[in-house]
Chain A
């Protein structure tokens, strides 16, 4: 019986081809674009987080007390090597590195710009965040007095590979220290702070410039695959009570806020689109049932149970919704696949996007949740849309319906 009901429902759902096609197109196109947008926005956000983590703090970062407030090398982590070794042994920790950072002034013969020297270990950076991915031009080889410069800083100073830069800062003895450096590479991390100010040089040379012990650091950053970052943070706080331990989201609250805003925006878009889709399905189902009201009257009068009619109508709505869902999934998947592989090229706006720490090519992410949540929303919209017509059938007096229609 149930199989027959489903067969009848399937045939009825697609009986009026024009209506059915319009409805499927509506669901398919709107869902496809909605999923595409969700994946693109999410991709933009995920890539921003990924690049910020890889280029700066990782999942967790440690600083000396007061450092983040004062930004002064006076507040640095001593004996950082031992601390790095201890941290690397913790479960859930993938990789640990340390950096030395100081602010100062970068100057060429004609231009000056505030900058910060970041002392790094190139091999560690590669393991930590695949530093070579950030290379925009030049080569990742410091050589004798080479530096890597953030892309926006290079633009502001009008420097290119081979240009000479003087960096002046205040060392740990409060003396003004200057060093002449040669640009070996331009780095683009899409992390505004680093691209606008960053000058990378080997950590030992940075330590010499700052007149600090090479074994000291201003930041220890941790990559972790742990699902329980908060627990790991607490564990590290216990290990090093004299240091400040932050998770990525504590260091980049604007990204957290951005995520919340994006989630709200996606939820609102999703809800509005689904309400309108619901109205569309409702219209089609209502008219489809009104067209066949006599048919239902006859069925009821010969003893066909109302629950069978209900199953049939719900199934009809489901088939229509599901067909739309399949089309939407296909469109969405194709859109997302294209944007995941080739990206959305916005290089005509490159200057603006790069200045604000975004890549000029946006890549989408594909996640099963986009399709699962949409599936449930469409099923719910489809099933809900048949409630008003079902109520109408329930109130039917079979005799009156057959008489009126006759």
Chain B
């Protein structure tokens, strides 16, 4: 039966070429499309996580809902001890955030001032990589300012900046700093609102020794992140809670899901048309061969044998197309992962939507390529169902008399 199917695919060239080409095109574009969609999403998330967020964060339970100094982690060292013994973490660091008004000679702006351990941040986030001028790891009354914030305040390295806010005992804090460093991450809100200072001096003026708003950590492998979060949760005191990046970046994750859904709907449209065309060509081919099927049935082939013949034919054509499309699609996905397409000015245009890079990479995941290919394969198999049903509707005599 397989040989007969093979001969038929070679004989009915028009249908074979059309089916082969359409299957090839749909499989190739599907693999590449999904790779670009996943790649751009993954790149946006990766950038956002690596720049500052980290892959997980630990909070006092009420902090994210209520906020404020009443819900700080009070024993940071104890959590550090736990994290020291947790495998799979690349880095971690505590941060203490406060809001206030920063003023230069003529300008004021609302800012988020964060006390950080600069050495640990260099391992954990991209604060150091984002450095543009001045000093990164400054000591004393020094600020590391976002580039847009510096522009807004009209300050340069060495200029004075005052800050008015409150310490964690809610006493009034007014302090004079120097602008010692400037950074630019490309994250819109971050660069316009954030300033950092070394934790030692921060603790002195805000009375925040051993306290943290939260502790951020980065897993070595993102796929192990949930497992690590689970381990940490089990060992943490009950008043603390671990949030994974999916929870921390929920809006962005949801937006990406929406984007993927719309993408799949568009791809679904292509599949629908291609499915119909393959079915139409299959059907035309089958209706032209009704006489042949009548003869086959009259010499003893059952309906199931005819079904098998038609299935073999479509499987041969589909596998042949997929054998070319899959490696080619996989290579395209792999190539553009290593050499992303660059669209100049894209990050600037869409900065409000969390785009921080002009690069549009693909994401090459063999499993994704496999399910993309499998879906095209299944759709092609489905396209032969109606022709099978059509052939079955003829008795051998009717089929042989068919014109």
Contact = CB atoms under 8 A, between A and B. Distances in A.
A329 to B, nearest CB: 16
Interface string A103-119: 11111011111110000
Nearest to B154: A70
Nearest to B270: A272
Contacts of A115: 110
Contacts of A283: 18, 277, 280-281, 284
B170 to A, nearest CB: 10
B167 to A, nearest CB: 14
24 contacts: A18-B390, A26-B273, A26-B280, A30-B272, A30-B276, A33-B265, A33-B268, A33-B269, A37-B265, A37-B266, A103-B110, A104-B108, A105-B101, A105-B110, A107-B99, A111-B68, A169-B108, A176-B108, A254-B352, A276-B277, A287-B284, A287-B288, A353-B254, A356-B251
B269 A114 contact: no
Contacts of A346: 258
Given A105-B101, A272-B270, A284 B284 contact: yes
Contact of B254 (A110, A170, A280, A349): A349
A279 interface: yes
A114 B193 contact: yes
A30 B360 CA distance: 29
Nearest to A74: B106
Given A29-B276, A158-B65, A254-B350, 4 more contacts: A105-B100, A112-B112, A273-B273, A352-B258
Contacts of B274: 276
A352 B101 contact: no
B25 to A, nearest CB: 9
A151 B349 CA distance: 24
Contact of B22 (A71, A107, A276, A357): A276
B140 interface: no
B110 A18 contact: no
Given A349-B254, A352-B252, A269 B266 contact: yes
B66 A110 contact: yes
B277 A170 contact: no
Contacts of A254: 349-350, 352-353
Interface in A76-134: 103-107, 109-115
Interface residues of A, number: 57
A257 B68 CA distance: 40
Interface in A57-81: 71-72
A352 B276 contact: no
A110 B277 contact: no
Interface in B270-323: 270, 272-274, 276-277, 279-281, 283-284, 287-288
Contacts of A277: 273, 277
Interface in B351-396: 352-354, 386, 390
A192 interface: yes
B258 to A, nearest CB: 5
Contacts of B350: 254
A103 B149 CA distance: 13
Interface of B: 18, 22, 65-71, 98-101, 103, 106-112, 152, 164, 193, 250-258, 265-266, 268-270, 272-274, 276-277, 279-281, 283-284, 287-288, 349-350, 352-354, 386, 390
B283 A19 contact: yes
A174 interface: yes
A263 interface: no
Q: Could you say which of B22, B108, B112, B250 has the most chain A C-beta atoms within 10 Å of its C-beta? A: B108
Contacts of A284: 280, 284
A354 B284 CA distance: 50
Nearest to A253: B349
B272 A352 contact: no
A110 B68 contact: yes
Given A37-B269, A352-B257, A114 B110 contact: yes
Interface of A: 16, 18-19, 22-23, 25-26, 29-30, 33-34, 37, 71-72, 103-107, 109-115, 158, 168-170, 174, 176, 192-193, 253-254, 257, 265, 269, 272-273, 276-277, 279-280, 283-284, 287, 346, 349, 351-357
A33 B22 contact: no
A39 to B, nearest CB: 13
Contacts of B354: 356
Contacts of B103: 170, 176
B255 A356 contact: yes
Given A22-B280, A37-B266, A349 B99 contact: no
Q: Could you say which of B106, B265, B276 has the most chain A C-beta atoms within 10 Å of its C-beta? A: B276
B284 A19 contact: yes
B175 to A, nearest CB: 15
Nearest to B70: A110
A332 B346 CA distance: 33
A37 B258 CA distance: 14
A103 B109 contact: yes
B269 A30 contact: yes
A349 B255 contact: yes
Q: Could you say which of B265, B276, B277 has the most chain A C-beta atoms within 10 Å of its C-beta? A: B277
A109 B99 CA distance: 12
B253 A356 contact: no
B172 to A, nearest CB: 13
Contact of A280 (B164, B258, B276): B276
Q: Could you say which of B103, B111, B266 has the most chain A C-beta atoms within 10 Å of its C-beta? A: B266
A26 B67 contact: no
A175 to B, nearest CB: 9
A111 B276 contact: no
B153 to A, nearest CB: 11
Given A110-B67, A110-B68, A111-B67, A19 B280 contact: yes
A215 B265 CA distance: 52
Given A176-B103, A280-B280, A29 B272 contact: yes
Contacts of A170: 101, 103, 107-108
